[in-house]
Amino acid sequence: MRAAPAVRVLVAAVLAAGALSACAADEDGLQYATDYSNHEPLSVVGYPTSDSLQVTQKLVWRLADGRVDELESLAADPDGAKAEVEKTAQNWIQAFRKGAGGKVTADFYDEGSVRQFVVVYFHDTAQVKGFSVRLTGSTGEGGWRVDMREPDPKEAAVAPEWVPKTPGGLGSKTPR
């Protein structure tokens, strides 16, 4: 039995859409694998989700590579505060690029179902940086992103006062 022309067109459209989706997923996976092989592995303390870990890893890679645009793309609200996010990305790269190119440990605080505070330790430069990662969108459909609202260079380069000098110093629990 031969399929009607409309059915053949519908099947072709579905297959083409699936192939394009697979290509996009493969491209993302290839980019991640390339980035992973080109950078020092991130050491981890605490309990990240796979997604909070991935956005943190990408943030460290973008810092190390000095990629302002790609760092901005990780922002939780890149369009709503474009100038603030751009300035923050520039500040973070200026302050942490050298350290991000070496050994880095990320300490993930508290549970990470929708938000997590992360402290990264740049071992080569003895710098420490804290930031929040969170799900974006009303139902999380925007994925995990980084809060980037530090347009003041001094604020951008400073860790919160409560952060311990070494990873795991508080047992990955924020002080109450």
Q: Is residue 167 part of a domain?
A: no
Residues 47 and 97 in one domain: yes
Write out pLDDT tens, residues 108-148: 998 888 999 999 999 999 999 999 999 987 666 778 999 99
Q: What is the CATH number of the domain that holds 139?
A: 3.10.450.50
Task: Name the token pair of 106.
Answer: 């990320």
What is the helix (H) or strand (E) element at residue 27, kind and residue range? helix 5-37
Residues 14 and 84 in one domain: no
- 13-36 mean pLDDT: 62
Residues 125 and 46 in one domain: yes
- What is the extent of the structural domain holding 6? 1-38
- 91-103 mean pLDDT: 96
Total domain count, the chain? 2
Residues 19 and 69 in one domain: no
Task: List phi, psi (to 5°) of 81.
Answer: -140, 50
Q: In what order do the strands lie in the sheet with 104-109?
A: 42-46, 104-109, 115-122, 127-136, 143-146
Q: Is residue 166 part of a domain?
A: no
Residues 14 and 94 in one domain: no
Distance CA(50)–CA(133), nearest Å, equals 12
Q: Is residue 136 part of a domain?
A: yes
Q: In one letter, which amino acid is 136?
A: T
Residue 48 has pLDDT above 80, yes or no: yes
Q: Is residue 175 part of a domain?
A: no
Residue 1 has pLDDT above 70, yes or no: no
Residues 1 and 46 in one domain: no
Write out pLDDT tens, residues 64-93: 999 999 999 999 976 668 889 999 999 999
Distance CA(146)–CA(148), nearest Å, equals 6
